[in-house]
Each structure stands twice: as structure tokens, then as C-alpha cells.
């Protein structure tokens, strides 16, 4: 493939944008080479400025669950645009979005919109601290909760990809308030809570980590976590920015029947526009200003364009059995991948839940970050570039998750399996 126009754009970008990108994982540092620059996207395909076409499994890192540029979203945004881009006062669409997500997510008694997943998790942490009067936070290694100072400690996603799990610029005193534990390890969690449980304001986690690859919770882990946090009076926060409205109508909490105290969302509910949301128990949410002492605000929170896009996307999913169809597409891809891998000599582990999937280049079962780090990165890099050359775009890092959209079909899945066969 020819990438000459992308290469020229990258050289220009590096002069005026740090690293030439506005989010680190886009730089392709983990896989080598230079990033391509998008020109447009439609359905299951992403097109670059050199007119190369790719079956897209990044889906803008999750939001494009219907595929790129779906008609329902374009129409909704166009209509909203005619009414104005931002108001600075409440709008009806904010209320409609709040009513919809609280109806879909049983754990949400109240919700507040914001502008990103990072804002949502940051607000959850502040709210948990304000509600409990405690300072310490527990997170799990490999779970990424955005670039929040107190949470960017042994994080996954871009921080892991670039080999710097602890970001510079975070005071040691602040990082000391965050305890990082291995995912899926109940004995360690129980020990820590016995020692400092009364000092812990919140436990935050991705209930299915999707920023260190895709890691599934072992049987009973989330249920016991809920029991232990309730026992110690700790706020349990589910970061469902990735999984919320993606793995099912009620996210991971709907699949497991677990009710967290607070939850963070983003991605799908914005229809491709910047968005975040957080919500949970009424008694906690009412600690937010203007009702309570915990301050949180945002000039563009509940932006009418984002609300229109998100509402249109959610309604389309609901009206057309979207989650059933996504599961069918995921199962079709999985069966093909597993058949393909059965004849390979190298070690691979394939994980999937609904429309999210990940191929680890290791023969070890992946239950936590340390397991994920046993992956053969050189083998993954070869695979990534092979897939790209064969017209399939997967995330440019072993430590990321792939997404399927409703625009993917049998044709795209066959093309993906052919590209895999040639790239592994």
C-alpha cells in the first residue's frame, strides 16, 4: 500500500503537535512505522488520505457501534445543528439522555453528563471521597481510567504501550493515596482491606479490563468484590466507559447482576462525539453541587449535538435487536479465528465478549496484567502490519481491544480471516 500522503501529513504534524498525534497510541510507537491519516469513514470501513480502505476494528476506540457515519446519527446531528451548537443552559435532550441511561442501567438512580471518560472517572473519585470522608483509592493493575492524576498509576492502554506505566507530573504524595492491586486476585484484595479498609473511599475498576488487551474476570471475582466493598463501607465504581452500552444494554453490570455504587460511561452514548457520564445511587449523587459540597462542572456538558447523536445511536440499537446481532457477529468471527488458530504452532489466546475481542500472542491464559505482558510483541507487530497490508485495521498495540460494529458482515469477517491467515 502507498502511504505517501499520510507520511507527509505526519511530518507536518510533528512540528506543531507533540509526537504528531493528539492521543499517544495513534503514533504507532508500539508497532513501529508511521500512522496513517484518515480521510473519511463509512460503515465498517476507514479510508485514509492515500485512498487505502481498511475493515475497521478500532471503531474510533469503541463508539462506532453502528458503524461509521450511520444515517440515523447524521440526521439527528444535522437537525440538532440547525437549532444551535451549544446553549449554556439546560436543554431537553439532556433530560432525554438521562432518562434513557437510567432506564437501561438499573444501578443508576441519577446521572450527570460530562465531556469525556476521563472526566467521568475523575468525578466518581472526587464524589466517593466527598461522600465517605476518606482519601485512599484502590485500583487494579492494567485498568485504565483516563489521564487522572490519582488513577494514572500502573495503568494500561497508552501508558502501558509506551512503556511508562507511571506518568511524570504526578506528585508522589497523590500517588501514595492510590493502591494498585493485581486483577482477579481476591486474597490480595482481602488482605489489603483488612489492613486499611477503613481508609479506602473507593475501589474503581473496569469490570472487564479492555485497556491491557481484553481480560475477563474469573468466576466469583466481581461478586466477592461487591461483597467486600459493601462490608467495609467502600464505594464500588465500575468504569464502563468501554463496556457500557457495548457488551449489552446494561453493560457488564447487566450481564453479572452486580450493582455498583457509581459508574462511569462514555463512548457509545456520544455517537462519535465527545461525551462522558457518571451516575449511581441517589444518596451519593446528591452530594454533587448544587445540592451538595462536591463540586463538578463543565461548560459543554450535555452538549446538544452529542446528546442528539447518542440518543439516535442508542435508539437504533434498541429498535433493531442490535446487541443480539452483535453477539451473532462476534460468535461468527470467533469460530473462524479459533479454527484458524488450531493449525498454528505459535501460542495464541483469543478472548471475546459480545462485540469486543482480543488476540494475545502468548500461550499463557491471561487473567491479569502480568499475564498480558508475557505476549510476544515482535510477533504482534508482524501481525499488525500484515493485517494493515491486507486491508484490515486492528489497534496498533497488543494491549488494546478490537470492536465489531453492526456494519460488519460476513464479507468483512471473511476478509478479516483471510488477512489473519496471511499475517500470522
Residues 286 and 424 in one domain: no
Q: Is 131 a catalytic residue?
A: no
- CA distances to 270, 302, 320 from 265, rounded to whole Å, are 10, 13, 22
Sign of the C-alpha dihedral computed for residues 220, 222, 225 and 226 taken in this order: negative
> What is the C-alpha to C-alpha distance for residues 56 and 420, in angstroms, rounded to an integer?
14
> What pTM did the predictor assign?
0.95
Mean pLDDT of the chain: 94
Residues 127 and 268 in one domain: yes
* End position of a domain, from candidates 302, 333, 352: 302
* Residue 161: per-residue pLDDT: 45
pLDDT in tens, 373-387: 999 999 999 999 999
The active-site residue, picked from 136, 139, 154, 267, is 267
Report if residue 173 sits inside a domain: yes
- 309 — phi, psi (to 5°)? -65, -45
Residues 199 and 126 in one domain: yes
Q: Is 383 a catalytic residue?
A: no
> What is the C-alpha to C-alpha distance for residues 26 and 211, in angstroms, rounded to an integer?
14
Give the β-pairing of 45-48 and 53-56.
antiparallel
Report if residue 185 sits inside a domain: yes
> What is the C-alpha to C-alpha distance for residues 347 and 370, in angstroms, rounded to an integer?
17
> What is the C-alpha to C-alpha distance for residues 225 and 259, in angstroms, rounded to an integer?
11
* Residue 160: per-residue pLDDT: 47
Judge whether 179 and 234 are in contact, CB under 8 Å.
Answer: no
| Residues facing residue 78 across a β-bridge | none
Residues 22 and 122 in one domain: no
Q: What is the DSSP letter of 294?
A: B
What does R_g of the chain's alpha carbons equal in angstroms?
21
pLDDT in tens, 309-351: 999 999 999 999 999 999 999 999 999 999 999 988 778 999 9
pLDDT in tens, 183-218: 999 999 999 999 999 999 999 999 999 999 999 999
> What is the C-alpha to C-alpha distance for residues 93 and 306, in angstroms, rounded to an integer?
9
> What is the C-alpha to C-alpha distance for residues 224 and 102, in angstroms, rounded to an integer?
25
Residues 21 and 161 in one domain: no
The CATH number assigned to the domain holding 17 equals 3.90.1150.10
Residues 128 and 240 in one domain: yes
Q: Determine the average pLDDT of the residues in 251-279.
A: 97
Residues 297 and 392 in one domain: no
> What is the C-alpha to C-alpha distance for residues 410 and 273, in angstroms, rounded to an integer?
28
> What is the C-alpha to C-alpha distance for residues 117 and 162, in angstroms, rounded to an integer?
21
The CATH number assigned to the domain holding 247 equals 3.40.640.10
Q: Which residues, at least 6 apart from 14, have a Cβ–Cβ distance to it below 8 Å?
A: 20
Residues 35 and 108 in one domain: no
The active-site residue, picked from 45, 57, 131, 144, is 144
* End position of a domain, from candidates 282, 302, 322: 302
Report if residue 121 sits inside a domain: yes
pLDDT-based confidence at residue 165 (cuts at 50, 70, 90): very low
The active-site residue, picked from 45, 48, 57, 239, is 239
Report if residue 365 sits inside a domain: no
Report if residue 328 sits inside a domain: no
pLDDT in tens, 20-76: 999 998 999 999 999 999 999 999 999 999 999 999 999 999 999 999 999 999 999
Residues 149 and 293 in one domain: yes
Please tell me which residue, 286 or 346, carries the higher pLDDT value.
286
Report if residue 67 sits inside a domain: no
* End position of a domain, from candidates 262, 282, 302: 302
Q: How many domains does the structure of the chain reveal?
A: 2
Range of the domain at 33: 1-39+378-401+410-424
Report if residue 357 sits inside a domain: no
Amino acid at each position: 500500500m502507498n502511504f505517501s500522503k499520510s507520511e507527509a501529513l505526519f511530518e507536518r504534524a510533528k512540528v506543531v503537535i507533540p509526537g504528531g498525534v493528539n492521543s499517544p497510541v495513534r503514533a504507532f510507537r508500539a508497532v513501529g512505522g508511521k500512522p496513517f491519516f484518515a480521510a473519511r469513514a463509512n460503515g465498517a470501513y476507514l479510508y485514509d488520505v492515500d485512498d487505502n480502505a481498511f475493515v475497521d476494528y478500532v471503531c474510533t476506540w469503541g463508539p462506532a457501534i453502528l458503524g461509521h457515519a450511520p444515517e440515523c446519527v447524521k440526521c439527528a446531528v444535522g437537525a440538532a445543528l440547525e437549532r444551535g451548537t451549544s446553549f449554556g443552559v439546560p436543554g431537553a435532550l439532556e433530560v432525554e439522555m438521562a432518562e434513557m441511561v437510567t432506564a437501561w442501567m438499573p444501578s443508576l438512580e441519577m446521572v450527570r453528563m460530562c465531556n469525556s471518560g476521563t472526566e467521568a472517572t475523575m468525578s466518581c473519585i472526587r464524589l466517593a471521597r466527598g461522600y465517605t470522608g476518606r482519601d485512599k483509592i484502590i485500583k487494579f493493575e492494567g485498568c485504565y481510567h483516563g489521564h487522572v492524576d490519582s488513577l494514572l498509576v500502573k495503568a494500561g492502554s497508552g501508558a502501558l504501550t509506551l512503556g511508562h506505566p507511571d506518568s511524570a507530573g504526578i506528585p508522589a504524595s497523590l500517588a501514595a493515596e492510590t493502591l494498585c492491586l493485581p486483577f482477579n486476585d481476591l486474597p490480595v484484595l482481602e488482605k489489603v482491606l483488612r489492613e486499611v479498609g477503613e481508609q479506602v473511599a473507593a475501589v474503581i475498576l473496569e469490570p472487564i479490563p479492555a485497556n491491557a488487551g481484553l481480560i475477563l474476570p474469573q468466576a466469583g471475582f466481581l461478586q466477592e468484590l461487591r461483597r467486600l466493598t459493601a462490608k467495609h463501607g467502600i464505594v464500588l465504581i465500575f468504569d464502563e466507559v468501554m463496556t457500557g452500552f457495548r457488551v449489552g444494554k446494561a453493560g457488564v453490570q447487566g450481564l453479572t447482576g452486580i450493582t455498583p455504587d457509581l459508574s462511569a460511561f462514555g463512548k457509545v452514548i456520544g455517537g462519535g462525539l465527545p461525551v462522558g457520564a457518571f451516575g449511581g445511587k441517589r444518596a451519593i449523587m446528591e452530594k454533587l453541587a448544587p445540592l451538595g459540597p462536591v463540586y463538578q462542572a463543565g461548560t459543554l456538558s450535555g452538549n446538544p449535538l452529542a446528546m442528539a447523536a447518542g440518543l439516535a445511536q442508542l435508539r437504533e440499537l434498541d429498535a433493531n435487536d442490535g446487541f443480539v446481532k452483535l453477539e451473532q457477529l462476534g460468535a461468527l468471527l470467533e469460530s473462524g479465528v479459533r479454527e484458524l488458530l488450531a493449525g498454528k504452532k505459535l501460542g495464541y489466546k483469543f478472548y471475546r465478549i459480545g462485540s469486543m475481542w482480543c488476540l494475545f500472542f502468548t500461550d499463557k491464559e491471561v487473567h491479569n496484567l502480568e499475564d498480558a505482558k508475557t505476549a510476544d510483541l515482535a510477533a504482534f507487530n508482524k501481525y499488525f502490519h500484515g493485517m494493515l497490508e491486507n486491508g484490515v485495521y486492528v489497534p496498533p498495540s497488543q494491549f488494546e481491544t478490537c470492536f465489531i460494529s453492526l456494519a460488519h458482515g460476513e464479507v468483512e469477517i471473511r476478509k478479516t480471516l483471510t488477512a489473519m491467515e496471511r499475517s500470522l
